[in-house]
Amino acid sequence: MAFEVKGTLKKLFDQQDFPSGFYKRDFVVTTMEQYPQDIKFSALKEKSEQLGQCAEGDVVNVKFDLRAVSTTANTTWT
């Protein structure tokens, strides 16, 4: 299930390249709600190239999926 948020591009970080060939680019979007929130996203691989067309201050729509990871060895997911 995909989610979407509309907001202003607050911060666009430089692309990070890793020895394995993987690369990503982080960015922060300020939501357009009654109580605005700053949300940090990571664009992975080919998706990060789309950010080259954007500049800080642009209004953007971000479509994303949520991914959860267990943070302790004793946590079990049911």
User: Any idea what the Cα angle at residue 52 is, between residues 48 and 53, rounded to 5°?
Assistant: 120
Alpha carbons 25 and 27: distance in angstroms, whole number:
7
pTM comes to 0.80
Residue 75 lies in a domain: no
At 46, the pLDDT band (50, 70, 90 cuts) reads confident
Q: Is residue 30 one of the residues assigned to a domain? A: yes
Q: What is the dihedral of CA 51, 57, 62, 65, to 10 degrees?
A: 80
Return mean pLDDT, the chain.
88
Confidence of residue 14 (pLDDT cuts 50, 70, 90): very high
Residue 41 lies in a domain: yes
Containing domain of residue 14, as a range?
3-64
What is the per-residue pLDDT for 63?
92
